[in-house]
Amino acid sequence: MTDATDLTRRAVLTIGGTGAVGGVLVLAGCAPGDADDAANSTPPPASPGSDASDGAAPETGTAAGVAALADVPVGGSVSVEIDGAPALLAQPTAGEVAAFSAICTHQQCVLAAAGDRFECPCHGSAYDAATGEVLQGPALDPLPAIPVHVEGDQVVAGA
């Protein structure tokens, strides 16, 4: 009788221990901010309400209109798409435009336009909209600039 009780206790402890270890592994897999997860996942899409297109616009190898200058607030920024890639467009002063990659240099999440800065929804990095320089980490590197200029009332990609 004692052997049967020990066997039952052993079985209960084995099952319970296995369940606890499995639960810990499941929870560990849900932890945010894991570099391996970011490397193996797709960056989140641009935020709703952004000016990014749905990717249906045809790509061209020549200078292409990115946005109407009037759509970019002076002292502010908007999300756009340049050559099929997410980008951020700013107008620091009237008639002066700057464009940068919308991919965070920390873990490649898609940035959001937020007035005079660009913000990462994943880990809180922030960049200056006029220069692409890091304002707040964890990102360390500035955003890559994209050449743009104004032609008439349009912001055009290319030098």
Can you tell me the distance from the alpha carbon of 64 to that of 79, in angstroms, rounded to the nearest whole number? Answer: 16
Q: What is the dihedral of CA 135, 139, 144, 146, to 10 degrees?
A: -60
Q: What percentage of the chain's residues is helix, strand, coil (to nearest 5)?
A: 25, 30, 50
Cβ-based neighbour number of residue 126 at 10 Å: 17
Residues facing 134 on adjacent strands: 127
Report whether 146 contacts 97 (CB < 8 A).
no
Per-residue pLDDT tens for 74-112? Answer: 999 999 999 999 999 999 999 899 999 999 999 999 999
Contact, 155 vs 95, CB < 8 A? no
Q: What is the pLDDT along the chain (159 residues), one digit of tens a residue?
A: 555 555 577 766 667 666 666 555 555 555 455 444 444 444 454 443 334 333 333 333 445 688 999 999 999 999 999 999 999 999 999 989 999 999 999 999 999 999 999 999 999 999 999 999 999 999 999 999 999 999 999 999 887
Confidence (pTM)? 0.60
Length of the chain: 159
